[in-house]
């Protein structure tokens, strides 16, 4: 410190050369006001610049309170005040520890008062051998305790105002749950909450002031740790060492709590041995003498007494030998023991554990548990079954905190089968997993914030949650439970979708009501004092109501106005009309009324449909004026059509009679020419005459078939009981010659009796049999089978006929003829339709049309199945009644 000594108070000029030549760091501090905060650096040599190289800005011009540690005003403030008040230099040391390493730098400092506005600060390094520094660093870091060295921070009055750590090993930082950077850069007032900082400050200040060591157990609540702290004075500061004794403290506290609150009797038994070392007895030592077990003891207190003296029976029942085995082998023994009393017995659950040369015996009265064990097992089975089969997913989440006590995650402690299935995992694979690890999307979709809010506030929440695509919906409940949450969720996707669908249906219904051309009114009756219906409130009215009822009120109004008034207020004329009486009648009787009303003066026709509805009426009004006009036109056309049908019937009658007579004469004259005048004609003339006769015969057959077909439509007879068996036999008798000529083989099973028209049913069966006889393979006799199957309506192949209930008959006609392509299955029943030429097969093309018409007249239907060359099957379905 030669430079500081060379500058006297009388020499007011500063030698810049002398400062630069110094081996120490020299800082010239100046201030317009003699206060610590006012000083700043006005000059510095190269050595000072090297020592303060950590400063991120020019050193000259920097205020003292912005210099790097340990040269800030926290450390220099007291020494600056001292230097301003005395003429001699102020000597002191400053220690600095770097939080990135465990190294310590010691600075030798002097402050000289040049005048009231200038100070000179010289800084030198205390030389410590490198090997000693490394050894000190290794010793500090290898210590089994946390170590922190504090320096007292004083104000201008030399009063301690705070403490700043200047040294800290890594273990001390780990135990404190704080980084070395925080410990070495922040005083205790900034590192702990207010109450904790205040407590530490006064404790540390007392040690520095009195020099007495302080030993204490300290609990840090945010970190949930117990520290055994030793604080001793070291220079103008403290040396604090501490160990993490959380486990020991919790164990001791737990043991004390267990002994005090345990429902079991806990007792230490000390072995008593003879001269050979054999255990001959046990002395009953310390333990909790619970009042609940007093009735099982022979005296008020048994501490200090011998086991065999108090309970001699244990030598015979094997209990004594159990105790000896536990002590000698070191193996614990867990057993149940029955203790008889005068009126009943009790059960004890006993655990014997070797301890030293004795044992600790824990005895718990489990009588109630033994008696209720079976019931508990049943309840447990039921509960487990409920949980495993519950439709609700259930999980227990444990809150995960960081070192600052902030909730950062949740772990899955319990989970039922339903939720595991939802997550597509086995329950045992999920236990212990965190949300961020296994269900990371819950950390960002808002669920984590909800869980954390419940954990912080303790207030349960219930809400509906959906995925990002709104395809899955859950009803969720989050309830706080100890140090975690119980979360239940039920898949309500179906309910939610139904609700959304209901809303869409409501919107659809509203749209239908608003767009309907029919007036829809929901009316609620209003009664007078006598209980009579005097009016109706309009609860619902669609826009069409305004249009339909405007001609009756001759004024305009909105839909909102309509629904806020009564019926007679808006339509007073209704009171005098039959409509009002009809409304009252529906309310009184509960019977619906459906009626059309003409309003000739207005040229309108309305159709009213009045129904009971929720204690009132639903009035549906439809303007059927165009329909009424159309109906009148249709009625007129029907009259004209009926008249036309009469003309057609007369024409058919004339055709059937008047045309037949000329044809008969043509046929007769033809026969006469062939028999009497054949020699007068050559071969060509005779051929033309024969072809004419054939044409006449076909014309007669066609007229006959047309007449028969027309009678199916115009001449309907009441149905009677008809035996299908009888009429089939008659048909076969009529066709006997045809059957013999074709050598046909016809098989008929027993046919039932049904209700119908005998003539038409005869035409039906005869046409089908004739059809089978006609369309046969060349040179192959026809094989035809008729059978019948009884069916019920639900067995019918055609669903459109299921409304015809009761019993049915399926009449099948199967042949082995030429068959047909099923592409024509509908066309073969059309009038005059033929699949083959007249030269191949005779006929008029009316037979199957007659068949279909007869079936329709009998409310039945027909199906066909065929392939070319494989025959055909016609199945006729007819109701039995």
Only one residue has tokens 């009469």, namely 646
| Strand duo 745-748 + 783-792: pairing | parallel
Report residue 204 as tokens.
């540390």
pLDDT given at position 153? 86
- Tens digit of pLDDT for each residue in 662-688? 777 777 777 787 778 777 778 888 778
Q: Any residues with CB less than 8 A from the CB of 212 and at least 6 apart, and which?
A: 206
Split at pLDDT 50, 70, 90, the class of 191 is confident
Q: Which of 60-74, 695-709, 819-833 has the highest mean pLDDT?
A: 60-74
Number of H helices, E strands in the chain: 29, 32
Q: What is 390-496's CATH superfamily?
A: PAS domain (3.30.450.20)
pLDDT value for 462: 92
User: How far apart, in whole angstroms, are the C-alpha atoms of residue 113 and residue 121?
Assistant: 9
Angstrom CA distances, 49 to 26, 36, 169, stand at 9, 21, 29
What pLDDT is stored for residue 9 in this prediction? Answer: 43
Indicate the range of 175-189, 226-240, 540-554 predicted with least confidence: 540-554
Tokens representing 470?
């709104």
Quote the pLDDT of residue 842. 53
Provide the 8-state DSSP code for 835.
S
For residue 854, name the pLDDT band (cuts at 50, 70, 90).
Answer: confident
Helices (H), 554-600: 559-563, 567-570, 578-589
With H, G, I as helix, E, B as strand and everything else as coil, classify residue 308.
Answer: helix
Of 5-9, 197-201, 753-757, which range is least confident? 5-9
Q: Kindly list the domain boundaries of the chain, sorted by start residue.
A: 2-218+230-236, 262-371, 390-496, 516-623, 717-879
Give the C-alpha separation, 99 to 148, whole Å.
12
Average pLDDT, the chain: 81
108 in helix, strand or coil? strand
Residue 4 has pLDDT above 60, yes or no: no
SS3 state of residue 477: strand
CATH entry, 516-623, from 3.40.50.720, 3.30.70.100, 3.30.450.20, 3.40.50.10800: 3.30.450.20
Least confident of 77-91, 103-117, 638-652, 696-710: 696-710
127 has pLDDT over 70: no
Residue 592 reports pLDDT greater than 50: yes
Q: Which pLDDT value is given to residue 20?
A: 66
Which helix (H) or strand (E) is 637 found in, with range?
helix 625-658
Which has the minimum average pLDDT: 318-327, 457-466, 733-742?
Answer: 733-742
62 neighbors 49 (Cβ within 8 angstroms): no
Burial level of 652, CB count in 10 A (0-12/13-18/19+)? middle
Q: Which of 109-123, 683-697, 698-712, 845-859 has the lowest mean pLDDT?
A: 698-712
Question: What are the beta bridge partners of residue 152?
Answer: 163
Kindly report, residue by residue over 621-632, the tens digit of the pLDDT: 888 888 888 887
**Residue 587 and residue 533 in contact, taking contact as beta carbons nearer than 8 Å:** yes
Predicted pLDDT of residue 292 = 66
More confident residue, 592 or 54: 592
* Closest C-alpha among 413, 415, 380 to residue 394: 415
pLDDT at 6 over 50: no
Q: What is the pLDDT of residues 355-398, one digit of tens each?
A: 999 999 998 888 877 777 767 777 767 766 777 777 788 888 99
pLDDT-above-70 percentage for the chain: 84
Residue-wise pLDDT for 299-338, tens only, equals 777 888 899 988 898 898 889 999 999 999 999 999 988 8
Amino acid 845: pLDDT: 56
């000259």: which residue's tokens? 60
Q: Which two tokens stand for residue 738?
A: 């045809």
Question: To which residue do tokens 């909105």 refer?
Answer: 558
Q: Looking at the predicted structure, is the pLDDT value of residue 197 above 90?
A: no
Over residues 796-820, mean pLDDT: 77
Q: 90-99, 255-264, 345-354, 800-809 — which one is most confidently predicted on average? A: 345-354
CA distances from 831 to 616, 655, 705 (A): 57, 19, 11
Structure tokens at 700: 């007669």
Residue 211 or residue 463, greater confidence: 463
CATH class, domain 2-218+230-236, is alpha beta
Q: State residue 702's pLDDT score.
A: 61
418 pLDDT higher than 70: yes
Residue 866 has pLDDT above 60, yes or no: yes
Q: Which two tokens stand for residue 100?
A: 């990135």
What number of residues does the chain have?
881
DSSP H/E element including 657: helix 625-658
pLDDT at 12: 41
Residue range 391-414: mean pLDDT, rounded: 90
Task: Say if residue 832's pLDDT is above 50.
Answer: no
pLDDT at 618 (0 to 100): 92
Q: Could you tell me the pLDDT band of residue 247, with boundaries at 50, 70 and 90?
A: confident
Cβ burial 19-41 (10 Å sphere, 16+ → b, else e): beebebbbbbbebeebebeebbb
**2-218+230-236 shares its CATH topology with 516-623:** yes
Rounded CA-CA distance 568/570 in Å is 5
Q: What is the pLDDT of residue 495?
A: 86
Query: What's the mean pLDDT in 485-492?
Result: 89
Residues 262-371, CATH architecture: 2-Layer Sandwich (3.30)
Where do we find the tokens 């030598």? 315
Tell me the per-residue pLDDT of 83-109, one tens digit each, with 9 for 90 and over.
888 878 888 877 766 545 555 677 888
Highest mean pLDDT among 30-34, 449-453, 564-568, 774-778: 449-453
Confidence of residue 824 (pLDDT cuts 50, 70, 90): low
CATH of domain 717-879: 3.30.565.10
More confident residue, 411 or 866: 411
- Mean pLDDT for 590-611 is 88
């Amino acid at each position: 410190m030669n430079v500081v000594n060379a500058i006297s108070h009388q020499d007011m000029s500063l030698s810049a050369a002398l400062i630069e030549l110094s081996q120490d760091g020299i800082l010239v501090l100046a201030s317009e006001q003699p206060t610590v905060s006012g000083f700043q650096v006005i000059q510095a040599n190269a050595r000072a610049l090297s020592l303060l190289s950590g400063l991120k800005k020019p050193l000259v011009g920097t205020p003292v309170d912005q210099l790097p540690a340990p040269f800030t005003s926290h450390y220099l403030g007291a020494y600056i005040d001292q230097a301003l008040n005395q003429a001699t230099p102020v000597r002191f040391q400053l220690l600095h520890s770097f939080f990135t390493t465990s190294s310590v730098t010691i600075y030798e400092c002097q402050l000289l008062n040049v005048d009231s506005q200038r100070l000179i600060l010289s800084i030198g390094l205390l030389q410590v051998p490198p090997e000693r520094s490394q050894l000190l660093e290794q010793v500090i870091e290898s210590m089994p305790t946390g170590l922190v060295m504090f320096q007292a921070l004083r104000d201008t009055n030399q009063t301690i105002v705070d403490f700043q750590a200047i040294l800290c090993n890594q273990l001390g930082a780990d135990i404190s749950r704080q980084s070395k950077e925080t410990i070495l850069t922040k005083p205790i007032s900034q590192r702990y909450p207010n109450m904790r900082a205040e407590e530490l400050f006064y404790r540390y200040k007392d040690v520095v002031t009195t020099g007495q060591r302080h030993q204490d157990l300290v609990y840090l609540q945010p970190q949930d740790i117990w520290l055994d702290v030793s604080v001793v004075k070291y220079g103008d500061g403290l040396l604090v060492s501490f160990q993490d004794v959380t486990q020991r403290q919790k164990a001791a506290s737990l043991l004390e709590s267990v002994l005090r609150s345990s429902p079991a009797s806990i007792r230490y038994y000390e072995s008593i041995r003879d001269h050979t070392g054999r255990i001959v007895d046990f002395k009953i030592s310390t333990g909790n003498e619970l009042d609940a077990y007093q009735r099982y003891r022979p005296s008020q207190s048994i501490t200090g007494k011998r086991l065999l003296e108090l309970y001699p029976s244990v030598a015979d029942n094997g209990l004594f030998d159990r105790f000896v085995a536990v002590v000698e082998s070191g193996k614990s023994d867990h057993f149940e023991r029955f203790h008889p009393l005068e009126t009943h017995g009790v059960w004890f659950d006993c655990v014997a554990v070797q301890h030293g040369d004795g044992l600790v015996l824990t005895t718990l009265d489990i009588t109630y548990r033994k008696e209720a064990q079976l019931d508990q097992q049943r309840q447990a089975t039921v509960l487990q079954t409920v949980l495993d089969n519950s439709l609700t997913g259930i999980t227990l989440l444990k809150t995960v905190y960081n070192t600052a006590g902030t909730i950062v995650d949740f772990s899955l402690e319990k989970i039922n089968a339903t939720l595991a299935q939802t997550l597509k995992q086995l329950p045992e694979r999920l236990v212990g997993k965190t949300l961020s690890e296994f269900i990371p999307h819950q950390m960002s979709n808002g669920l984590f914030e909800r869980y954390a809010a419940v954990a912080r506030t303790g207030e349960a929440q219930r809400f509906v949650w959906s995925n990002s695509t709104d395809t899955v919906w859950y009803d969720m409940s989050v309830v706080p439970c100890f140090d975690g949450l119980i979360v239940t969720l039920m898949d309500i996707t179906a309910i939610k979708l139904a609700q959304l669908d209901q809303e869409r249906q409501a919107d659809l219904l509203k749209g239908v009501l608003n767009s309907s051309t029919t007036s829809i009114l929901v009316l609620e009756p209003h009664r007078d004092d006598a209980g009579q219906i005097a009016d109706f409130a309009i609860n619902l009215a669609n826009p069409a109501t305004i249009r339909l009822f405007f001609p009756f009120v001759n004024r305009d109004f909105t839909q909102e106005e309509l629904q806020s008034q009564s019926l007679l207020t808006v339509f007073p004329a209704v009171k005098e009309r039959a409509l009002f009486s009809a409304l009252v009648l529906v309310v009184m009787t509960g019977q619906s009324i459906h009626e059309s009303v003409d309003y000739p003066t207005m040229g309108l026709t309305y159709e009213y449909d009045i129904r009971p509805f929720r204690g009132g009426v639903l009035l549906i009004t439809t303007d059927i004026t165009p329909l009424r006009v159309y109906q009148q036109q249709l009625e007129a056309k029907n009259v004209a059509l009926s008249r036309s049908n009469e003309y057609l019937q007369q024409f058919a009658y004339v055709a059937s009679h008047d045309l037949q007579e000329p044809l008969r004469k043509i046929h007769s004259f033809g026969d006469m020419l062939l028999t009497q005048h054949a020699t007068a004609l050559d071969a060509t003339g005779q051929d033309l005459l024969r072809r004419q006769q054939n044409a006449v015969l076909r014309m007669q057959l066609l007229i006959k078939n047309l007449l028969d077909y027309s009678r199916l439509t115009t001449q309907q007879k009441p149905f009677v009981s008809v035996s299908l068996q009888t009429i089939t036999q008659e048909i076969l008798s009529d066709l006997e010659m045809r059957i013999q000529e074709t050598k046909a083989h016809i098989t008929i099973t027993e046919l039932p009796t049904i209700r119908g028209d005998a003539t038409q049913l005869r035409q039906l069966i005869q046409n089908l049999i004739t059809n089978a006889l006609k369309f046969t393979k060349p040179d192959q006799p026809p094989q035809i089978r008729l059978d019948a199957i009884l069916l019920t309506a639900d067995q019918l192949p055609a669903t459109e006929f299921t409304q015809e209930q009761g019993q049915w008959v399926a009449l099948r006609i199967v042949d082995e003829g030429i068959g047909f392509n099923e592409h024509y299955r509908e066309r073969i029943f059309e009038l005059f339709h033929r699949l083959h030429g007249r030269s191949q097969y005779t006929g008029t093309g009316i037979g199957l049309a007659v068949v279909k018409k007869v079936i329709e007249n009998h409310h039945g239907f027909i199906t066909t199945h065929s392939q070319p060359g494989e025959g055909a099957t016609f199945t006729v379905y007819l109701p039995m009644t």
